[in-house]
Every structure is written in C-alpha cells, then in structure tokens.
Structure 1
Amino acid sequence: MATFSSVTPQHVLAAIAEHDDRGAQAFLGVYGFTPTPGVTLTHDGQTYDATAILAVAHRYATGRAALPEEMSGGKVAVSTLLTKRGFEVSGGRAATAPARRTTTRATKAPAAPRVRKAAEPEAPPALCPTCYMALPATGICDTCS
C-alpha cells in the first residue's frame, strides 16, 4: 500500500508538468490508469485526472508510482490529499473516501487514577568498625585486614 505523507506540492507540480508534456492519453497509458470520471484536479485553468496525478506525484516523492490497484476502491482519499497540499479538486468524495460506519460504542467509566508506589530508600552501606570505610561485597575491609 502506498503512503502519501512524503508527497509535497512540488511533486504534484512535477506530475502536472509531465502530464502536460506527454498529453492526457499517453500520461494515463504510461502508468496504467484509465480516466477517473468526477475526480478532477484544476490547476492554471486546466483539468487533470486527480488520481493519476497523485500516483505519479508519489513516484516523484519516492521513486515508485502508486499502482492503479492501490488508488482505487476507496483506499486513498485523493481529493483530501491534494486539497491538503493546496490544490483545487472537484468531486471525488464519494469515489475516494470509504463509507463511514455509524456504530454506537458503549462508554467506559473513567479508570481510577494510578497511584505510584513510593521508592524504597537504599540501605546504608556496611562500614568497617575500625576505620569506618565502606566494606566491599566480601565483607572484609581491604584497609584493616
């Protein structure tokens, strides 16, 4: 599944430039897309297939174009992604966004606050009764023995 977090407006503009250079049919054919009716991106007075533009913008961002299978069936909210990046997209809400489920959830009672147990103080080190130096783990003073 393609993720689009790395796609920037510059990547989208590069995909639009490639679309303009190749022409609409060649652009769609190179990447295996068919025209998506109703989901259009408008830039400088021209309209583009928003789904294909976003897939190719993904290629400019990551080196791999998103496949048509990854873009269809409501898996990617094309209009939302392009709108967040400052582009004008018409249509596509129903075609790209998955249907929301309306379920009711039972609300849980708030959990009781967790009480931290106070840390136990360390035991003072054992001292040599003669020189009052801390005893090593052996219990025999290195200085007095």
Structure 2
Amino acid sequence: MATFSSVSRQHLLQAISEYDERGGEEFCELYGFTPAPEHTLVHEGRRYDAGALLGVAHRIATGRLASPDEVAHGLAGGLGILRKRGFEVSEPARRVPSATRGGTRASSSRPRATRTPRASTREVPPAICPTCSMALPATGICDFCG
C-alpha cells in the first residue's frame, strides 16, 4: 500500500508540468489511471485529476508509481496531503442525513459547539538520499543505494 507522506509540493508541481505537456487523457492513459472528474486538484485556475497526479507524484518522490488501486484505497488521506501541500482539492458533496421527525426539524436547546481551527502545521520536507536524490523511507536507509 502506498503512503503519500513523502510526496512534496515540488513533486506535485513536477507531475502537473508533465500533465500539462501530455494532456490529461494521455497522462492518465500512460500511467493506467481512469479519469475521475469527481476528485480534482485546482492549480492556477486549471483542473487536474487528483488521483493520477498523486500516483505520479508518488513515483517522482519514491521511484515507484502508486497503482490506481493503491491511490483509490488511500485517496482520502491523499487528498488531505494535497491540501497540506497548499493545493485546492474538490470532492463530490457528501449527503448528510436530515435530522427530521415527522417532517419538521428537530431542535435542540443546547447551542452548537463551534469548531476551533487548529494551529497550522509546518510541512517538514522528507529526508533525501545524498547519492540518488530519492526520498528516504522511514528507516532512513535508501531502498536503492542501501
């Protein structure tokens, strides 16, 4: 299973550049992704397939392409990574069950709790192998160079 924590903003920008050069259909076809318009990444006013970009950015970061199945399985976390890297990501609207009884809204005498924003976390760049410039896994030992 692919984890996307090693994918940095720079890796995503490289994938976006390739997407622009090839065009969306060719990019997705080349890497085996089926276009998924329900999950898009927006960058400089243009829309991109978020799953395909995430899979290719993972290849740039680690040397291994995340398969479409791996991306689909980890998409929820992957979309969070994209947001943490400063990208706008759109998802389909989720259906929220209605809190109704007999056709009228149920009311509560308690005020709703407001959500306080979390302090922003600073992105820590992944450790890089000094020999091959690939992102190092959590062990700190390069999978390619040893």
Q: Give the TM-score normalised by structure 2.
A: 0.60
Asked if residue 59 in structure 1 is aligned to residue 59 in structure 2, the reply is: yes
SS in 2 for 1:2: coil
Aligned equivalent of 1:115: none
Aligned-residue offset at 1:93: 7.7
Contact 1:79 1:93 in 2 (8 A): no
Aligned equivalent of 1:122: none
In structure 1, stretches of 5+ residues that fail to align are 95-145
Question: Can you list the C-alpha shifts for 1:80-110, whole angstroms capped at 9, x where unaligned?
Answer: 110011101011586xxxxxxxxxxxxxxxx
4+ residue runs over 3 A deviation: none
Aligned-residue offset at 1:75: 3.0
Q: How many residues align?
A: 93
Contact 1:14 1:57 in 2 (8 A): yes
Aligned equivalent of 1:23: 23
Aligned-residue offset at 1:71: 1.3
In structure 2, stretches of 5+ residues that fail to align are 95-146
Instruction: Please report the RMSD computed on the Cα atoms of aligned residues, expressed in angstroms.
Output: 1.5
Asked if residue 76 in structure 1 is aligned to residue 70 in structure 2, the reply is: no
Structure whose alpha-carbon radius of gyration is higher: 1
Tell me, in whole angstroms, the C-alpha distance in 1 between the residues paired with 2:75 and 2:32.
17
Tell me, in whole angstroms, the C-alpha distance in 2 between the residues paired with 1:35 and 1:43.
17
